């Protein structure tokens, strides 16, 4: 049996789900999708692609009895690349106004292009941008954060990975959301990394599976898409989810996500939620 006695109810995070996991279903039937998440037992979601439709999303969340305390939006790039296509980048003020309409607390940048993590100047620019964004966000009553993939762990400078250098250069008020699957893909010990991030780590992406044999974001790696990933329900892959959850000191949200759900996405989300609930990892 898993030992979770070291964390009381106050210290345990709440469950959430990144809506990117059900992007097609959400686009086709926003209200119905949210109702199904609420029926699973979820109270929170993590919105994405929300800037152009904040009022619609807020109304749908209210109708389903859900909220979106965190959300993903590009803050650090002129354009945002993902394995499934590019997303235009709005101005930070536009992002924060939309986030405030929805009722968010923290806006998290989900992806910065791999080549920008390969030089010290590139990492400094990313850090400078998020520090500046944090100041703008404060005017809207919001905080900002960063969500990793695997490109942040390719380059090292004086014994620090680019990711570690980024953490060192950013202000403490910049929150961190650690994607455990992608950190493992980047060759990281996800438990040790969780512990090192300390109280700045407010969210983990609870995502399991078998990591690719090599870092797909490394220079010269062949193009890939989300459908090539071997992702599995929480507890059924190689990611040390239980130990990573226990290593966190100030985690607020355990965010279920699939880049590529192995089956029916709602059943897969329900299974990962059961892993969190039955294991005693969430409030």
Indicate the SS3 state at residue 137.
helix
The pLDDT of residue 1 is: 34
Token pair, residue 225, equals 């898409």
To 5 degrees, how large is the angle CA 52–CA 255–CA 3?
Answer: 170
Q: Is residue 265 part of a domain?
A: yes
How many other C-beta atoms are found inside a 10 Å radius of the C-beta of residue 258? 28
As a whole number of angstroms, the distance between CA 68 and CA 151 comes to 27
Q: Is residue 83 part of a domain?
A: yes
Q: Is residue 57 part of a domain?
A: yes
pTM of the prediction? Answer: 0.94
Q: Is residue 5 part of a domain?
A: no
The pLDDT of residue 82 is: 63
Q: Is residue 113 part of a domain?
A: yes
Q: Is residue 29 part of a domain?
A: yes
Number of independent structural domains in the chain: 1
Paired sense of beta strands 85-88 and 79-82, if any = antiparallel
The pLDDT of residue 5 is: 44
Range of the domain at 35: 14-278
Q: Is residue 8 part of a domain?
A: no
Q: Is residue 1 part of a domain?
A: no
Return per-residue pLDDT of the chain as tens, 283 residues: 344 444 666 589 999 999 999 999 999 999 999 999 999 999 999 999 999 999 999 999 999 999 999 999 999 998 766 667 776 789 999 999 999 999 999 999 999 999 999 999 999 999 999 999 999 999 999 999 999 999 999 999 999 999 999 999 999 999 999 999 999 999 999 999 999 999 999 999 999 999 999 999 999 999 999 999 999 999 999 999 999 999 999 999 999 999 999 999 999 999 999 999 999 999 9
What's the CATH number where 117 sits?
3.20.20.150
H, E, C per residue of 196-263: HHHHHEEEEEECEEECCCCCCCCCCCCCCCHHHCEEECCCCCCCCHHHHHHHCCCCCEEEECCCCCCC
As a whole number of angstroms, the distance between CA 282 and CA 142 comes to 24
């Amino acid at each position: 049996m898993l030992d979770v006695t070291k964390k009381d109810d106050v210290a345990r995070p709440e469950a959430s789900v990144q809506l990117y996991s059900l992007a097609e279903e959400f686009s086709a039937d926003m209200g119905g999708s949210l109702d199904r998440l609420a029926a699973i037992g979820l109270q929170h979601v993590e919105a994405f692609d929300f800037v152009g439709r904040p009022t619609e999303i807020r109304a749908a969340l209210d109708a389903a009895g859900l909220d979106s305390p965190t959300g993903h939006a590009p803050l650090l790039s002129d354009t945002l690349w993902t394995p499934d296509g590019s997303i235009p980048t709005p101005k930070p003020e536009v992002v924060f106004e939309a986030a405030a309409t929805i009722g968010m607390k923290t806006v998290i940048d989900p992806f910065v292009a791999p080549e920008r993590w390969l030089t010290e100047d590139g990492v400094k620019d990313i850090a400078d941008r998020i520090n500046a964004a944090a100041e703008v966000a404060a005017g809207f009553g919001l905080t900002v954060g960063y969500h990793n993939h695997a490109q942040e762990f390719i380059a090292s400078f004086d014994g620090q990975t680019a990711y570690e250098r980024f953490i060192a250069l950013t202000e403490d008020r910049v929150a961190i959301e650690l994607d455990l699957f992608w950190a493992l893909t980047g060759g990281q010990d996800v438990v040790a990394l969780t512990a090192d991030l300390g109280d700045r780590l407010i969210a983990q992406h609870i995502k399991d599976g078998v990591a690719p044999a090599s870092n797909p974001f490394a220079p010269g790696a062949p193009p890939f898409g989300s459908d090539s990933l071997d992702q599995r329900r929480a507890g059924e892959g190689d990611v040390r989810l239980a130990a990573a959850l226990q290593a966190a000191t100030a985690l607020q949200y355990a965010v279920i996500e699939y880049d590529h759900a192995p089956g029916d996405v709602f059943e897969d989300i329900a299974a990962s939620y059961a892993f969190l609930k039955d294991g005693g990892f969430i409030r």
